[in-house]
Structure 1
């Protein structure tokens, strides 16, 4: 039986496109598999719950009860992929907790495959936080997300050592369009007949990137 994937999308910085990545991944998994369980751990940032209320529930890591309630959901090998949109305010607390309880080892024991998608930035906070993840997360489970709309130019070399997933920059008018709470990436693919549009190709490219990531997990688990 294939491991149940758990995608944790995170950054120690606000406004780097983390929720956008979580939206794209959640919609891709829902389109492909017919089911996905998403968790929103945010304060004031644009919220995954606002965009995908039918598949998303809120979660907290501010107290022991909230932490254990979330971990209990993530460690279930039920075949339903999980997506966690981890707010920047909870970054340190969450990964301190996962290290303390041995989450990565327990996940492997239970046939669950955590994948950490770190949305990079060029600031000092990101530069300090990334090595913390490298010490805790196996290289095969740590993916750097290069959101080209936020990071203009090349990422610092330290982020380019492992797996990389790039999200190309969109023009501002298209960014405004996809930022609407009513917008759905998969619905756009279904209803936009012109597959040559910039947005259509952008969504397909991101979905293909997630498919390649998923295939790499399958190959690791085989």
Structure 2
């Protein structure tokens, strides 16, 4: 039976493009599958809920009820891909919780495949947090997002040991354009007839990388 993917986009640092990645992935899954269930665990706006309100709901892990409510939704092998936009403030609490309840093993038992997309940065907080993830998440399910807009130059060697998904930096005027709450990546692909534009190519490239990641996970689970 095909596994139900749960994508956890995370970083212990703010302003690294985490929500941008969550938006791209959610729109890709929505385009490909016709459905996606997204969860927004953030304090500050704009967040995933603001960009994709029709497929996103707010989740909180500040108390036991909130934690169990979210875990109950993530552990269901219903075939609907899940995307979690995990705010930096909740990073430590979330992964401490998943380790305590044995989320990774329980997910595997139920046919659910957690995939952690860690947005890399060059700071010490990120460097300290990554080894903790490596101890908890199987190597094939831990992917480092190399956001060129944030990491200018080479990605620190500690993050380069496993899978890496590179996202090219957009020029500032295009970044401002896609940061509008009304902007949709998929709608742009459908409406922009000139497929040679930089933004068109950028979106298609990222969608392709997500497709390649998805296929690698399918092969890994087969």
Give the TM-score taking structure 2 as reference length.
Answer: 0.99
Show the counterpart of 1:35.
35
Q: Tell me, what secondary structure is at the counterpart of 2:31?
A: helix
Q: Tell me, what secondary structure is at the counterpart of 2:43?
A: coil
Show the counterpart of 2:22.
22
Give the ranges of 4+ consecutive aligned residues of structure 1 lying more than 4 Å apart after TM superposition: none
What RMSD in Å do the two structures reach over aligned CA positions? Answer: 0.5
Deviation at 1:221, TM superposition (A): 1.4
Note if 1:58 corresponds to 2:58. Answer: yes
Q: Tell me, what secondary structure is at the counterpart of 2:100?
A: helix
Residues 41-100 of structure 1 deviation map (CA, whole Å, 9 limit, x = unaligned) = 000143000000000000001100000000000000000000000000000000000000
Residues 131-176 of structure 1 deviation map (CA, whole Å, 9 limit, x = unaligned) = 0000010000000000000111101100000000011000000000
Asked whether the equivalents of residues 8 and 116 of structure 1 are also in contact (C-alpha less than 8 Å), the reply is yes
Show the counterpart of 1:118.
118
1:106-145 pair list within 5 angstroms: 106-145=106-145
Distance in 2 of aligned mates of 1:45 and 1:132: 28
Show the counterpart of 2:10.
10
1:1-222 pair list within 5 angstroms: 1-222=1-222
Give the TM-score taking structure 1 as reference length.
Answer: 0.99
Asked whether the equivalents of residues 45 and 87 of structure 1 are also in contact (C-alpha less than 8 Å), the reply is no
Give the aligned length.
222
Distance in 2 of aligned mates of 1:46 and 1:119: 18
Distance in 2 of aligned mates of 1:46 and 1:20: 10
